[in-house]
Amino acid sequence: MTPADVGLTPGEYRHLAASLGREPSDVELAIVGALWSEHCSYKSSKQALRWLAPDPALAQRLAAGPGDNAGAIRFSDRREIVFKVESHNHPSFVEPFSGAATGVGGIIRDVLAMGAEPICLLDSLRFGTGPERPRVESGVVSGIAAYGNAIGVPTVGGEVAYGPGYEQNPLVNVMCVGQRAPSAAVNASGAHVGDHLLLLGAATGRDGIGGASRLASRALDPSEADQRPMVQVGDPLTGKLLVEAVLAALATGRVHAVQDLGASGLSSAVAELASQSRVGVVLDVDQVGLREPALTPGEIMLSESQERMLLAVAPADIEAVAAVAGQWELPLWDVGRATADGLLVVQAGGRALASLPVPLLTDGVPLREAVRPERAAGRRGEPVSVPRGTAEELREMWRQIMRHPDVASHAHVYRQYDSMVKAATVVGPGADAAVLRLDGEEAGLAVVVDGPARWAAGDAWTGGERAVLEAVANLVVVGAEPLGLSDGINAGSPDDPATYRQLLELVAGVAEGAQALAVPVTGGNVSLYNQTRTADGRVESIWPTAIIGAVGRHPHPDRVTPMALPGPDVELWRLGAAVGDLGASVWRLAAGDGQVGVAAAPDWPLARRVMSVVAVGIAAGWILAAHDVSGGGTAAAVTEMWLASPHPDLAVQLSLGEVPPGGWVPWWFGEDPGVVVVAVRPVDAPRLAAHLTEMRVPGRAIGRVEASGARLQCDLGVEGAASWDRSELMRLWRGLDPEMAAGEPGAGSGGGGHGAVE
């Protein structure tokens, strides 16, 4: 075995040998190669991720933060919310069903390892636009549905978008949210010298070997040999038993520490537990239960077989924990013990095959230096040439926007998910944010995951900022108070200087957004090398993509502010600045030059004031419905509110009274940051207008809703008016328009983000 076989660079190997004072054995080399891989060590991003640390005041909200399996926020005196975003990208291209399914199982176990009961899932997906899309998309969605539905955790929200860079590099970022009592908090740091390490769950097989060090830590190359054995295979029924067994074992008070087995299997789990608990470990691979008896010690240490957890238990308590495992019909293996010498020793056949200092494994890899880049000031987006915007032009543009896969209905995805299991879901897929009831709490839990990558394509910093703003706005418009964030950072190869700078700018943008909105980042995930070497030798990389998961407290879960128009006799108002941002817009892709450029950066003081106005208006009862402006601009936001209404006969009359600066196209289709469309009663409109003036927030009435007509009409003054039947736009949005090509994303069954509820 050579260093290159396990992914170590020559410099890293020299550092390893010098640290040991000798040449490593093959088993040692395999373990170090896995734990020093990009996927496990975060060696290219760890220094940059320190920029995300919240200031001391915000950190007071955290019950657990970066470094743990998942972050935790204090929700109330008796409840903490545990949550994290995790990725499973490369495996989901190689084997879409199993790759996505095990991504769900893995993030559930991350939350479980914190002593929390998993209560919901959300998914953020990116697919290509070429011939691979049907295979990958259908497999990923089926895998998520199969695992989440069977394990009994509702999938309550998420989003989907499409782009050329995701053709062979799909992104599968899954967020799991759990709950725990503060007294039930546990992690990997509580093991004592003398504790035994118990492996609970499924037997160990050959699946997933090399998943972390080879599949997830380098660019995909279609010319390589079959990579499917590197993809883990999940079993949600065993996963369900494992969740119940671990929670029951923790309830006995006899488990000192817990660590899930994910990337790099036993190697990572044992090293992380030993590191956080400041102990050594002697591990006997002969005691590990196997599905395949011919596995070598190195394969046993690196197997990523699913549905396994590691528990640290005092010798006197092993029998009690074994009894709990037996109640749930799960095997339990006593595979090691905690020692005082700080070494990870792997034994087989009575002899030591590896003896490695734990700090060398978890903190010994040389880190890539990250210098925080300087932010260019005053970015207002890329100027884009636009047509005059006549009534006929506007009518066709509106149609193109509503049928575009980044705007169109996402029902074909979320209808495959069980969003109501456990009966706690108040608002599920299709809304700006999902809302759940929590037993014993007056307040509800609002959750969302979002992050349009188009906004990062030309300026990664702006993309990171706007991903945070998008997620937080989605919580605010349903009436929730944002509490915390988890980030999923996805980028190409850090070995490419330009891509590495994009990575640093993306992280810096997320950090700036979180600080500007005063919402702490609790942790997250980084996935790199999301690029593919094509058959003709080109390297195709994804857009830098920040996926933001956010949780919030909703004071009245029985009165969630809807996106849908509530009925007739209300006015529509647009709150926020009219920047006319078309640089990285859906309009530019669907009706413009087809390019993706630079998006406008947020005006943070104004964005905060807009969010405040919305929160005050919802609390005061002025705002009856709200929807943030995102893909497709104000035009898409208004249309989605209209199509979501339970009153199919409603008519919407849009009118500005004058041609806005820049014309109709930027006004209606610009994706301006921090803008919200709201519905108010005419009697409350003066109160809203007065509050806008007081808060120095631009805002104006843009239309009214009438009881009948089932039409949307946009008055253009002397240019006339553009109008659309509800049935016409509904067909386009659902992907039922006969003009749509059968292979186009969304054709026949809808695509795009989690849009309005159907």
Residues 183/174/513/556 CA torsion (nearest 10 deg): -60
pLDDT above 70 as % of the chain:
94
**For residue 748, what pLDDT is reported?**
34
What percentage of the chain has pLDDT greater than the value 90?
82
Residue 719 has a pLDDT of 84
Q: Measured between alpha carbons, how far is 461 from 275 in angstroms, rounded to an integer?
A: 34
Q: Residue 238 contacts by C-beta under 8 Å, 6 or more apart in sequence?
A: 201, 202, 306, 307, 330
* DSSP-based helix, strand, coil % in the chain, nearest 5: 35, 25, 40
Q: What is the mean pLDDT of residues 85-95?
A: 90
* CB contact at 8 A, 163 and 543: yes
Q: Which domains does the chain have, with CATH numbers?
A: 1-36+187-364 (3.90.650.10)
Which H/E stretch holds residue 238? helix 236-251
**Residue tagged 């700078």 (tokens):** 501
Q: What was the pLDDT predicted at 210?
A: 67
Determine the average pLDDT of the residues in 348-371: 95
**Residue 537, Cβ density class (10 Å: 0-12 exposed, 13-18 middle, ≥19 buried):** exposed
Pairing of strands 721-725, 711-715: antiparallel
Question: Which residues lie below 8 Å from residue 376, measured CB to CB, with a gap of 6+?
Answer: none
Question: What confidence score (pLDDT) does residue 736 get?
Answer: 76
Q: What's the pLDDT band for 754 if we cut at 50, 70, 90?
A: very low
Whether residue 220 is predicted with pLDDT greater than 80 in this model: the reply is: no
Which H helix or E strand runs over 352?
A: strand 351-357
Q: What is the pLDDT of residues 622-638, one digit of tens each?
A: 999 999 999 999 999 99
**130 SS3 class:** coil
d(CA 491, CA 528): 5
Per-residue pLDDT at 377 exceeds 90: no
Q: Which H/E stretch holds residue 548?
A: strand 545-554
Q: Is 88 a catalytic residue?
A: yes
| Alpha-carbon distances of 211 from 137, 144, 175, 505, 651, rounded to whole Å | 21, 19, 20, 28, 54
Mean pLDDT of 512-519: 97
Q: What is the DSSP string of 406-451?
A: TTS--HHHHTTS---TTS-EEE-TTSSSEEE--TT-SSEEEEEEE-
Q: Is the pLDDT of residue 233 over 80?
A: no
Is pLDDT above 80 for 222? no
Residue 378: what pLDDT? Answer: 61
The answer, yes or no, to whether residue 755 has pLDDT greater than 50, is: no
Amino acid letter, 433: A
Other Cβ atoms closer than 10 A to 742: 7
Catalytic residue check, 754? no
CA distance 419 to 148: 9
Output the pLDDT for position 211: 53
378-395 confidence digits (pLDDT tens)? 667 788 989 988 999 999
Among the listed residues 15, 88, 412, 691, the single catalytic one is: 88
pLDDT of 202 over the 60 cut: yes
Distance CA 557, CA 426 (A): 7
pLDDT of residue 221: 57
Residues contacting 403, CB < 8 A, separation 6+: 590, 732, 733, 735, 737, 740, 746
pLDDT given for residue 219 in this prediction = 57
Strands 434-436 and 444-450: antiparallel
CB 136 within 8 A of CB 166: no
Cα(490)–Cα(488) distance, rounded to whole angstroms? 6
Cα pseudo-dihedral 627, 628, 634, 640, rounded to 10: -40
* Predicted confidence band of residue 376 (pLDDT cuts 50, 70, 90): confident
Confidence of residue 224 (pLDDT cuts 50, 70, 90): low
Rg (CA), the chain: 26
Length of the chain counted residue by residue: 758
Lowest mean pLDDT among 634-638, 642-646, 735-739: 735-739
3 state DSSP class of 399:
helix
CB 93 within 8 A of CB 75: no
Q: How confident is the model at residue 77 (pLDDT cuts 50, 70, 90)?
A: very high
Q: Is 210 helix (H, G, I), strand (E, B) or coil?
A: coil
Q: Which helix (H) or strand (E) holds 360?
A: helix 358-363
CA distance 317 to 253: 10
pLDDT over threshold 50, residue 743: no
Whether residue 313 is predicted with pLDDT greater than 80 in this model: the reply is yes
What local confidence, expressed as pLDDT, does residue 742 receive?
A: 37
Q: Looking at 153-157, 533-537, 676-680, 691-695, which range is the least confident one?
A: 533-537
pLDDT tier, 209 (very low <50, low <70, confident <90, very high otherwise): confident
Distance between CA atoms of residues 98 and 144, nearest Å: 9
Q: How many helices (H) and strands (E) does the chain have?
A: 24, 28
pLDDT of residue 535: 72
User: Are the beta carbons of 227 and 215 closer than 8 angstroms?
Assistant: yes
DSSP state for residue 599 in the 8-state scheme: P
Let me know: does 577 contact 586? Beta carbons within 8 Å. Answer: no
Name which of 182-196, 443-457, 557-571, 725-739 the model is least confident about: 725-739
SS3 of residue 655 by DSSP: strand
Q: In this structure, are residues 256 and 313 in contact, taking their beta carbons and an 8 Å threshold?
A: yes
Which pLDDT score, from 0 to 100, does residue 744 have? 45
Give the chain's mean pLDDT: 92
* Tokens describing residue 633: 């601009």
pLDDT in tens, 589-601: 999 999 999 999 9
Give the closest residue to 644 by CA, choosing from 669, 632, 627, 621. Answer: 627
Q: How many CA atoms lie within 13 A of 605 on its CB side?
A: 2
CB 408 within 8 A of CB 755: yes
Contacts for 420 with CB less than 8 Å, ≥ 6 apart: 154, 428
Of the candidates 358, 356, 333, 360, the residue with the CA atom closest to the CA atom of residue 346: 356
Q: What one-letter code names the amino acid at 726?
A: R
Q: Concatenate the DSSP letters of all residues of 302-316 into one string.
A: H---SSEEEEEE-GG
Least confident of 25-34, 355-364, 378-387, 403-412: 378-387
Catalytic residue among 15, 39, 196, 404: 39
**Alpha carbon distance, N-terminus to C-terminus of the chain:** 56
3-state secondary structure of 268: helix
Buried b (16+ CB within 10 A) or exposed e, 478-515: bbbebbbbbbbbbbbbbebeebbbbbbbbbbbbbbbbb
Asked whether residue 166 carries a pLDDT value surpassing 50, the answer given is yes
Which pLDDT value is given to residue 153?
95
HEC readout, 712-744 = EEEECHHHCEEEEEHHHHHHHHHCCCCCCCCCC
